[in-house]
Amino acid sequence: MPGTTVETLALRVQVSAFAGPTLPPGYAELLREGLGGICLFGPNTEAGEDSVRSLAAEIRAASAEGGWAPVITVDEEGGDVTRLEALTGSSVLGAAALGAADDLALTEETGRAVGLRLARAGINLNLAPVADVNSNPDNPVIATRSFSHDAGVAAKHVAAWVKGLESTGVAACVKHFPGHGDTGQDSHVAVPVLDASLDTLRDRELVPFLAAAEAGAASVMTSHIVVPALDPELPGTLSAPVLGLLRELGYDGPIVSDALDMAGASASRGIPAAAVLSLEAGADLLLLGPDKPTSLVHETTAAIVAAVDSGELPLERLQDAVARIDRLLADLTEAQRPDGALDARFEERSVEGARRALATASDDLTAIPDLAGAQVVTVDTEANIAVGDVPWGLPPDIVIRPGDPLPDLPDAPLIVQVRDAHRRPEVGRTVAELPGAAVLVEWGWPGAYDEPRVPRLCPQGFSLPGMAAVTEVLRRSGWNR
């Protein structure tokens, strides 16, 4: 690294994003100058896997012109959170369903299936899996993205998923350290507080992260939550005590910031200042967030350079961050194996897993009434920002919004589908107004629900295997679609 300018080092620690399926000229130039990489979001991937592969090749070629290797990353958790299958829904089970099915071989093969898809697309770092223990059922942003409310269950499935993913040469980024599961706010729009003792953190939140490290996870993502037991003021992404704890646990790979445009990190200070604070705290790779102008990269670079020049950010800390990123990229250069094969029964086993997940949280399936001629009603609610606008549920005949006047409803049984009704009273009130409701399909976290008058099916997150399992149950009760 001798001779590398501070400006180049400041670029190397940044991962930004743009809209659209092709590389804009301004970003091509930044990659040639040393920009650390690109994070892909729905607008980059909606044209399909071939388009993503072409875009990834453009990114690599631009970086190579400057003599660099880029990080190309994406959020591909499976289940509710998918970017490569955002138009159809994920073809693999999500974390909550896998944890409920409790088949470690299936979980490992699911991580492998995701890795093979990413490797084919030219992506080398996956911002997954989620290692948060969803101990708060009212959590608005983790929920079915978590493997379990139980730390031990979450830990063993996080480790299995990491092993499967990294067997394809795609690096895992386990998130959101030190644990976002026991919070009641979304760090995209607020600064959640995890009010737990250090003993509770060690017994619960940290357990899956330790398991991930033992499984060889290549990187860990921070969370924008305040943990008073560690730091009463700064969120984890900007906190030296929080990120120092990660190093104390023996983890030596790159620490990746969650997106710095989120309110939990930058609402009161701006992205460039948050970037400097995060580097000072010990983060190595900074995610700026989706659809950002090149001017933001330049502003962030200038802020980092100014912090080095003033002595606020030691040059050695910046060099250390780049060295960790370079080691990760060197490990990935020869590692990707996009041509590997899945277990021939993987799709069948995924549906079997979905059936088990459904059975663990649903009401008595024999209590579902006759559904001959039934129509599907979606009570539509906005997804959290992490999930985004992706398909969910059975194809609906009728869509209603909580609080809107009810439309004319058919004289037929209604299959009503919702997300997280237990923490959305307005959804429960709407369901109660539907006189023909015969069964409720809860696609979100299966929390306690105050409207028990109809049987409830809980597939524990949306996925295509989960939809197949729900469809089987409904058809056994006479649904003929």
Active site residues: 188, 258
- From the list 395, 338, 345, the residue with the least C-alpha distance to 167 is 338
Quote the CA–CA distance of 210 and 95 in Å, as a whole number. 18
What DSSP letter does each residue of 165-178 carry, written as one string? HHTTTPEEEEEEET
**Helices H, strands E: what count in the chain?**
17, 13
Task: Give residue 464's identity as a one-letter amino acid code.
Answer: L
Single-letter amino acid, residue 106: L
Q: How far is CA 57 from the centre of its chain?
A: 24
Q: What is the rounded distance in angstroms from the CA atom of residue 93 to the CA atom of residue 110? A: 7
Please, are residues 221 and 264 in contact by the beta-carbon 8 Å criterion? no
Look up tokens 């580097």; give the residue.
279
Q: Which helix (H) or strand (E) holds 370?
A: none
Q: Which helix (H) or strand (E) holds 40?
A: strand 37-40
Largest CA distance in the chain: 76
- Answer whether 96's CB lies under 8 Å from 80's CB: no
Specify the DSSP class assigned to residue 414: E
For residues 234 and 181, the answer to whether their CB atoms sit within 8 Å is no
Q: What is the 3-state secondary structure (H, E, C) of 197-221?
A: CHHHHHHHHHHHHHHHHHCCCCEEE
Q: Residue holding tokens 């730390």? A: 151
Beta bridge partners of 399: 378
The Cα–Cα gap between 249 and 364 comes to 44
